[in-house]
A = this chain, B = another copy of it.
Amino acid sequence: MKQSISSDIIRGYNDTIILFFLREAPSYGYEISKKIRQLSEEKYVIKETTLYSAFTRMEKNGYIESYPYQDPDTGKRRTYYRITDAGREYYSSRCREWALTKEVIERFIADEERV
């Protein structure tokens, strides 16, 4: 019974998590999902449907752009995504919001319970 992260708290932060990786380089669904697992040390595993619907939403919002890409080695066709300037701004604003949110939520978290 490992403690894990509820989807309600991560809700709305998936976009930020995805953009965190796209800031550094364009990528695609499967790779991003693996990177999330790795960086979180298996503590957070994004669901496929959640991930791909986030792509759709963010492209609609202009935070990312998709383009087809064929891997020169394997020949695999994938949909790659790159971050836009609007996406970078959005990421930054979410980071600032996070700082504020964290500070506020912690006022409602009892010290003794913090483990």
Contact = CB atoms under 8 A, between A and B. Distances in A.
B96 A113 contact: yes
A103 B16 CA distance: 15
Contacts of A108: 13, 16-17, 20, 39
B6 A110 contact: no
B12 A12 contact: no
B39 A107 contact: yes
B9 A97 contact: yes
A11 interface: yes
A91 interface: yes
A91 B5 CA distance: 15
Interface of A: 3-6, 8-13, 16-17, 20, 23, 39-40, 43-44, 91-92, 95-102, 104-105, 107-110, 113-115
